[in-house]
Amino acid sequence: MDTAVDTTATDFATLDEVREAALAVLPSDAHDFLEGGAGEEATLRRNRNAFERWAFVPRVMGGLPSPSTTTRFLGVDLALPVLTAPFGADGLFHPDGQVAVGRANAAAGTASIVPEAGTYSLEEIAAAAPGAAAFGQVNPLGTDEGFLAMVRRYERAGYRGLCVTCDVPIQGWRERNLRNGYLPDHRLFGGNYPSVEHALGQLGQLLEREAPVWSWAKLGELLGQSRLPWIAKGIMTPEDASAAVATGARALLVSNHGGRQLDGQRASLDVLPEIRDAVGPGIEIALDSGVRRGADVVRAIALGADVVVIGRLAAYGLAAGGEAGVARVLELLRAEITTVLTLLGRGGVRDLTPDALTRVEVGPVSRGHRAGGGA
């Protein structure tokens, strides 16, 4: 692994500049792999546009000190209400992949959700960023034994919780990748497996079109054998939220997979208030899909999330500048979150409530079409 820090990444003034730099260095097929969504990409666009439908309602002259960005999620203290997503094939964007992401999170005082289908093993990432490698992602695929073996490895490596991806029994219909025939080198997904063949055996279901789907009952039975609390990822309805909690989930990740799975569904932000109402205040909630700036983080938390999860933003930082690029993304997010909280007249992210926002109408064309959408 190259541990050198790219100091030029500190020169990025905005998150848009980070994205532009990332896309400039990626070949066209990798660009489409990162930017694309499923089907006609309607959900990808909705994810981004949903944030524009919520306007801020500021309070002035409150006499408050500088606002706090600190919070806590599933027992993990965070200096910033942002986790990085478990995006796989991370070595596609930078040779250090999720190792660099973990180190950047450690420096920023936040945490990673580490992917099962990543370039580096979960043990390597935990060793590189022991405080930040907090949550391990698992796919309910393959055999029961293979699933439990991955869970046990996260336990032994000192992870604090699991993130179970519930919305990917098979891969979505991603037409950009279908058109260009693109599939990243399987070695980029195989860091947790002894061979490419082993990885394909465990994860090959993703590429099949007639794969078996696990049930809540089966998932609950297997996760009942672990001591780690778990997050149900891919929750988009109050019914699934209630089912996940009944199965034993301690937290939910409201997510449509960045518009990369089922096209034509609602934006994650649009369903967030319904899910918060369904499970009440006792269940912690994260949100991904469409988050592109610090103001989006504030909106999501005001509508019921405890933290947000960034996928494409983290990948942009990684491609643009490795560890330093991801660190710059987190730094810019923190600065904008602090600015927005100050101008809103709120003392911190934990003080945000729905009355910080009001619903507004937006036109048919928005910046979401320019900047893309997703996790």
Say if 259 falls within a structural domain: yes
8 Å CB contact between 298 and 82:
no
Say if 373 falls within a structural domain: no
Say if 99 falls within a structural domain: yes
> Which residues are documented as binding site?
86-88, 137, 165, 174, 233, 255, 257, 260, 288-292, 311-312
How many structural domains are present in the chain? Answer: 1
Catalytic residues: 257
pLDDT for 345 equals 96
What does the longest C-alpha to C-alpha distance in the chain come to? Answer: 62
Q: What is the mean pLDDT of residues 56-78?
A: 94
Q: What is the mean pLDDT of residues 277-287?
A: 97
Q: What is the mean pLDDT of residues 20-38?
A: 93
Say if 2 falls within a structural domain: no
Q: What are the tens digits of pLDDT across the range 128-180?
A: 999 999 999 999 988 899 999 999 999 999 999 999 999 988 888 888 888 88
Say if 372 falls within a structural domain: no
Say if 374 falls within a structural domain: no
pTM for the model stands at 0.92
Give alpha helix (H) positions in 115-174: 122-128, 144-156
Q: From CA 51, how far away is CA 298, in angstroms rounded?
A: 10
Say if 1 falls within a structural domain: no
Domain that holds residue 106: 7-362
> Which residues are documented as binding site for glyoxylate?
174, 257, 260
H-run or E-run covering 84: strand 82-84
Question: How long a stretch of residues is the chain?
Answer: 375
Which CATH number characterizes residue 292's domain?
3.20.20.70
Whether pLDDT at 113 is above 50: yes
Say if 76 falls within a structural domain: yes
Q: What are the tens digits of pLDDT across the range 315-331?
A: 999 999 999 999 999 99
